[in-house]
């Protein structure tokens, strides 16, 4: 059905002619076209809730950058909102929760979200799928339970997430209750995404790196593992745990298909620890500030290190909004033109 199914084959460990490439935050501010569409909405939250606009910006990077996949334009924070905890996006600062979770009563009040509570995401997926016309696969996503928990307790972004971690240390039982509710909501949500057209799923654990190894396994990976078990029989699942390079082996023991890596881990080391799982990543987004020559050389080095099979080319985290679109396009082209 799909005209370009490189991503799906790579995720499943099947043979490919070349490595597929897509970029985290490819639908974003580096594209003037994104900024123009975003200006049509009152604010970020309304933008995410308007399926026509979300579908439009989801497809832009496929047309403009030539990437091998689309990722649905949304945010990980739609799950807390669907559970009863609304968020705001403060311009140039990031997310904020006017109310946070602090007590047993707060946790009791949260509902377990159903896919129908996120109907606007389902509609955006259906519309994107239709308009993509099977050119490339469509990626769905959610935040990892720990990363969502961190925002729900802390109330905003943070360098340390020390309030969220304080909660883990002082209320481990409540923490597990909240993580379980987020996990069940995420499973319902992702099943809905698959039913609405997502061909592959990614779980973003952006704040994995603030936990100790032991706490990461107890409070994060155990819940990610449940999500993988529920979804990996349906479509390939990628787990991206930022800054948790120690965890590659343990992540490879879940039922995920591929493991997203940031730039702090060496590709060859990751290969040794990842068993037969596909790897995704891991160029430093700041490489794209470098000269064209350096971008080409470093990208070639990375491709040689990972090898052609069981590999999805990406950055190690999202694109920064002030990157030059032409350099981003160069990165994509270098991957597509590489002679394996
Ligand atoms: O192209 C894509 O990758 C798909 C869309 C996407 C967005 N957010 C759109 C967005 C995805 C996959 C996310 C996930 C997300 N959201 C994560 C996990 C990935 C990561 O980056 O670690 C996190 C932690 C969030 C929470 C979030 N949303 C933050 C911290 C911010 C502010 C950061 C910033 O760049 O301003 C957002 C806002 C956001 N989500 C933007 C986009 C394109 C920028 C908002 C804008 O248009 O002004």
Q: What is the mean pLDDT of residues 19-25?
A: 98
Q: Which of 45, 75, 321 to mutate to test the pocket of ligand 1 (most atoms within 8 A of CB)?
A: 75
Q: What is the mean pLDDT of residues 256-271?
A: 98
Q: How confident is the model at residue 186 (pLDDT cuts 50, 70, 90)?
A: very high
| Distance from residue 75's CA to the centre of ligand 1 (Å) | 6
Q: Each residue of 311-331: pLDDT tens digit? A: 999 999 999 999 999 999 999
Q: 282: cis peptide before it, omega within 30°?
A: yes
* Overall CATH class of domain 6-337: alpha beta
Domain spans of the chain?
6-337
What is the SS3 assignment for 200? strand
Report phi then psi at 281, rounded to 5.
140, -155
| Distance from residue 290's CA to the centre of ligand 1 (Å) | 23
Is 63's pLDDT higher than 90? yes
| Distance from residue 77's CA to the centre of ligand 1 (Å) | 9
Q: How confident is the model at residue 92 (pLDDT cuts 50, 70, 90)?
A: confident
pLDDT of residue 141: 98
pLDDT of residue 330: 98
Neighbouring-strand partners of residue 204: 143, 240
Report d(CA 193, CA 198) in Å as an integer. Answer: 6
pLDDT of residue 265: 97
Does the C-beta of 41 come closer than 6 Å to ligand 1? no
Report d(CA 41, CA 11) in Å as an integer. Answer: 35
pTM for this one?
0.98
Is 6's pLDDT higher than 90? yes
Active site residues: 25, 29, 38, 75, 151
Is 3's pLDDT higher than 90? yes
Q: How confident is the model at residue 139 (pLDDT cuts 50, 70, 90)?
A: very high
Does the C-beta of 71 come closer than 6 Å to ligand 1? yes
Round the average pLDDT of the chain to a whole number and report it: 98
pLDDT of residue 66: 98
Report d(CA 222, CA 18) in Å as an integer. Answer: 33
Cα dihedral across residues 244, 247, 251, 257: positive or negative: positive
Is 285's pLDDT higher than 90? yes
Report d(CA 202, CA 43) in Å as an integer. Answer: 25
Could you give the residue ranges of the DSSP H alpha helices within 247-319?
Answer: 248-252, 267-273, 292-306
Q: What is the mean pLDDT of residues 128-146?
A: 98
Ramachandran region, residue 13 (left: φ > 0; alpha: ψ -120 to 50; beta: rest): left
């Amino acid at each position: 059905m799909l005209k370009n199914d490189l991503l799906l084959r790579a995720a499943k460990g099947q043979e490919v002619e070349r490595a597929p490439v897509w970029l985290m935050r490819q639908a974003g501010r580096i594209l003037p076209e994104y900024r123009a569409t975003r200006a049509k909405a009152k604010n970020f939250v309304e933008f995410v809730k308007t399926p026509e606009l979300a579908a439009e910006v989801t497809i832009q990077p496929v047309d403009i950058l030539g990437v091998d996949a689309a990722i649905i334009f949304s945010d990980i924070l739609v799950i807390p909102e669907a559970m009863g905890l609304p968020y705001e996006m403060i311009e140039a600062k990031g997310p904020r929760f006017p109310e946070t979770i602090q007590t047993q009563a707060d946790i009791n009040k949260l509902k377990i979200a159903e896919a129908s509570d996120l109907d606007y995401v389902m509609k955006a997926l259906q519309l994107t799928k239709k308009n993509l016309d099977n050119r490339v696969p469509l990626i769905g996503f959610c935040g990892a339970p720990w990363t969502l928990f961190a925002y729900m307790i802390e109330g905003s972004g943070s360098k340390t997430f020390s309030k969220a971690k304080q909660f883990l240390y002082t209320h481990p039982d409540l923490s597990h209750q909240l993580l379980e509710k987020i996990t069940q909501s995420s499973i319902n949500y992702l099943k809905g995404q698959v039913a609405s057209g997502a061909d592959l799923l990614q779980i973003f654990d952006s704040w994995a790196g603030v936990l100790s190894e032991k706490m990461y396994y107890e409070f994060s990976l155990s819940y990610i593992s449940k999500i993988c078990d529920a979804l990996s029989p349906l479509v390939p699942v990628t787990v991206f745990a930022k800054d948790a390079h120690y965890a590659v082996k343990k992540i490879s023991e879940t039922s995920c298909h591929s493991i997203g890596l940031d730039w702090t881990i060496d590709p060859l080391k990751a290969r040794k620890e990842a068993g037969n799982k596909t790897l995704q990543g891991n160029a430093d987004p700041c490489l794209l500030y470098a000269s064209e020559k350096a971008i080409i050389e470093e990208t070639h080095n990375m491709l040689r290190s990972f090898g052609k099979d069981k590999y999805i080319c990406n950055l190690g985290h999202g694109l920064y909004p002030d990157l030059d679109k032409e350099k981003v396009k160069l990165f994509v082209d270098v991957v597509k033109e590489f002679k394996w």
